A and B are shown apart, each in its own frame.
Chain A
């Protein structure tokens, strides 16, 4: 009994910084020494892959990249994988963002993956002909409602570099959201996938796939279950699974992707969190009984 009380006393005085240290090790060690734990893409993620894969070659796809630096680890791998997937299908790309924090990130990613060859057999895309970056437009939900009706009016008829829409061959025949065969949302929060579904998906019967942060996943899953989203990849795990599917499609090594490298860390990290929750409950209930 005395030993048990001593143990409980020790646990009650347990410095929470040991948990931080354990979590730090759980993150760093699997990165340095990868375990290669298996990953089986979920149906929701496969649905994203197949929605893009079933596009006719050469389609023009709208990609709304609504991200900020905090969501970068979860969504950047998805963006790269989706762009490679779309480029492999020969799709033309129209990028825009509703988040003021996004332009520096998106411009950097476009430079890396769109304007450069990003996988064997790929070619650099030319601005205006193969892709266009419309940039950021303030207004949140109002912008979504606006591009549902008129893309040019919402973006003052020009792309981020000031080129008039009339001089952008990639936009010929694409005046509003309903003209695009698929809309890909890389969505860190509001405004994002939820607002697209609420404001324009039902109204114009749009085909939309989305990648979101893990925090938004439970909000968005009902939209996938009801068919309002054709596919949904939520958080780093789903992003990694999609990255693996695209790597297989492109004939690349799936384990080399950034998301795939993070999967080991998430698995071990979650074990630490579960252990901490169990430990906390043991201390709480044992202390209450005492």
Chain B
């Protein structure tokens, strides 16, 4: 059994206590909450400063400027440039008249990041996304019997993976001709999980049966509707941001539709945010209840017992603070 060092166990206990100290804010602002809050801020700042010093300033600047001999101290080095730029940031603390010098290092950083980002964003966010958004709305089903349908084409189908696609292509090359999409699950060499994935994928109304066929000339109705809606929604959303004409009449109605499309997007973001915040609470709950630890670790930490003890200490503390301390030390 892996035995935790005593300071690790105490660390877990402090974590549990501080969790409940933070949650005590739900009652009202109190000394336990303040303690946890100040600890959090202090530890965070201390950690950031040490990390930045040991990972950035020391290896990238100080060690490179450190002379091997005192006579080398003033030897020319390109690393004096960042030191000077950093020093310029503090110019305004010397005199307001030379405060403008601090703009040069900031301009350098802004220009550097702009240079890195402009091309990259134009390529990955604009070019790639516009390519996808403006694809032809006519989407034929992928003909699994067509020799021109490649492994890559098949791999994008629901229930498929590149490995499954390779087996389907191998079966086709060996002379197999599929009579229906359901027969894909009978392809030789598939594992039982892969067969099940294919059967599950057929059931969806926009699944395998909607996207694949065994003969040419069929179209994927869901994909066609989806691409048309995407294009209309994209254009309507852009119209909302067109300010060179009053948004009245037909233009106003299109812009209004664009707002609804944007609202759907914001709703999706809100839903994801809720899930993220809930995940934080779940994470803390699992930690204090030892649900994210192995039974061996949980037996050493006793999270639920420490949780109850923490709640009792905080409750008693808040009662004493309210009934004894506050009456004697009224707030201004």
Write the residues of chain A forming the contact surface with B, with a CB cutoff of 8 angstroms: 17, 20, 23, 27-28, 31-32, 43, 46, 50, 53-54, 70, 72-74, 100-101, 103, 136-138, 141-142, 145, 156, 197-199, 201-203, 213-218, 222-223, 225-226, 228, 234-237, 248, 258, 261-262, 265-266, 269-270, 273
Q: Is the CB of B275 within 8 A of A141?
A: no
Minimum C-beta distance from B274 to chain A (A): 5
A31-B286, A266-B278 known, 4 other contacts, Cβ within 8 Å: A20-B26, A213-B276, A215-B272, A236-B282
Q: Is the CB of A218 within 8 A of B268?
A: yes
Choose one: B193, B272, B274, B278; the contact of A218 (CB below 8 Å): B272
A198 to B272 alpha-carbon distance, docked (Å): 22
Q: Is the CB of A198 within 8 A of B120?
A: yes
Q: Is the CB of A225 within 8 A of B132?
A: yes
A199 to B120 alpha-carbon distance, docked (Å): 5
Q: Is the CB of B279 within 8 A of A226?
A: no
Minimum C-beta distance from A134 to chain B (A): 12
| Tally of contact residues, B, Cβ under 8 A | 50
Minimum C-beta distance from A106 to chain B (A): 13
Look across to chain A and name the residue whose beta carbon is closest to the beta carbon of B166: A54
Sample (11) of A-B pairs whose CB atoms are under 8 Å apart: A28-B289, A46-B197, A50-B161, A53-B161, A101-B47, A138-B55, A198-B117, A216-B272, A218-B269, A262-B279, A262-B282
Count contacts between A and B, CB distance < 8 Å.
142
Q: Write the B258-277 contact mask toward A (1 if CB under 8 angstroms, else 0).
A: 00000001001100111110
Q: Which of B121-129, B141-149, B173-181 contacts A (4 or more CB under 8 A)?
A: B121-129
For B117, list chain A residues within 8 Å (CB).
141, 198-199
A141 to B120 alpha-carbon distance, docked (Å): 11
For B285, list chain A residues within 8 Å (CB).
27-28, 31, 265
- Residues of B249-305 whose CB lies within 8 A of A: 265, 268-269, 272-276, 278-286, 289, 291-292
B84 interface residue (CB < 8 Å to A): no
Minimum C-beta distance from A80 to chain B (A): 11
Look across to chain A and name the residue whose beta carbon is closest to the beta carbon of B51: A100
Minimum C-beta distance from B131 to chain A (A): 7
Q: Is the CB of A214 within 8 A of B273?
A: yes
B116 interface residue (CB < 8 Å to A): yes
For B127, list chain A residues within 8 Å (CB).
202
Look across to chain B and name the residue whose beta carbon is closest to the beta carbon of A222: B129
Q: Is the CB of B120 within 8 A of A258?
A: no
Minimum C-beta distance from A52 to chain B (A): 11
Look across to chain B and name the residue whose beta carbon is closest to the beta carbon of A145: B116
Q: Is the CB of B279 within 8 A of A201?
A: no
Minimum C-beta distance from B157 to chain A (A): 10
With A142-B112, A156-B59, A261-B286 as given contacts, are A203 and B279 in contact (CB-CB < 8 Å)? no
B56 interface residue (CB < 8 Å to A): yes
Q: Is the CB of B274 within 8 A of A226?
A: no
Q: Is the CB of A248 within 8 A of B193?
A: yes
A70 to B272 alpha-carbon distance, docked (Å): 15
Choose one: A46, A74, A226; the contact of B131 (CB below 8 Å): A226
Look across to chain A and name the residue whose beta carbon is closest to the beta carbon of B163: A54
B7 interface residue (CB < 8 Å to A): no
A222 to B292 alpha-carbon distance, docked (Å): 32
Choose one: B47, B158, B193, B275; the contact of A270 (CB below 8 Å): B275
Identify whether the interface residues of B are mostly helix, strand, loop, or mixed: helix
For B55, list chain A residues within 8 Å (CB).
100, 136-138
Q: Is the CB of B56 within 8 A of A73?
A: no
A17 to B27 alpha-carbon distance, docked (Å): 8
For A100, list chain B residues within 8 Å (CB).
47-48, 51-52, 55
A215 to B274 alpha-carbon distance, docked (Å): 8
The winner among A156, A216, A258 for most chain B CB atoms within 10 A is A258
A156 to B56 alpha-carbon distance, docked (Å): 12
Q: Is the CB of B56 within 8 A of A269?
A: no
Minimum C-beta distance from A49 to chain B (A): 8
Choose one: A27, A103, A201, A226; the contact of B282 (CB below 8 Å): A27
- Residues of B164-196 whose CB lies within 8 A of A: 193
Choose one: B26, B51, B123, B291; the contact of A261 (CB below 8 Å): B291
B67 interface residue (CB < 8 Å to A): no
B70 interface residue (CB < 8 Å to A): no
Give 7 nearest A-B pairs by CB, closest first: A73-B283, A50-B161, A214-B276, A214-B275, A236-B279, A226-B132, A214-B272
Look across to chain A and name the residue whose beta carbon is closest to the beta carbon of B156: A227
Q: Is the CB of B125 within 8 A of A74?
A: no
Q: Is the CB of B120 within 8 A of A203?
A: yes
B243 interface residue (CB < 8 Å to A): no
Q: Is the CB of B26 within 8 A of A17?
A: yes
A197 to B126 alpha-carbon distance, docked (Å): 12
Q: Is the CB of B124 within 8 A of A27?
A: no
Choose one: A50, A199, A234, A266; the contact of B163 (CB below 8 Å): A50
Q: Is the CB of A215 within 8 A of B273?
A: yes
A271 to B56 alpha-carbon distance, docked (Å): 46
Minimum C-beta distance from B52 to chain A (A): 7
Minimum C-beta distance from B240 to chain A (A): 18
For B51, list chain A residues within 8 Å (CB).
100, 103, 136
Minimum C-beta distance from A70 to chain B (A): 6
Q: Is the CB of A138 within 8 A of B52?
A: yes
Q: Is the CB of B161 within 8 A of A273?
A: no
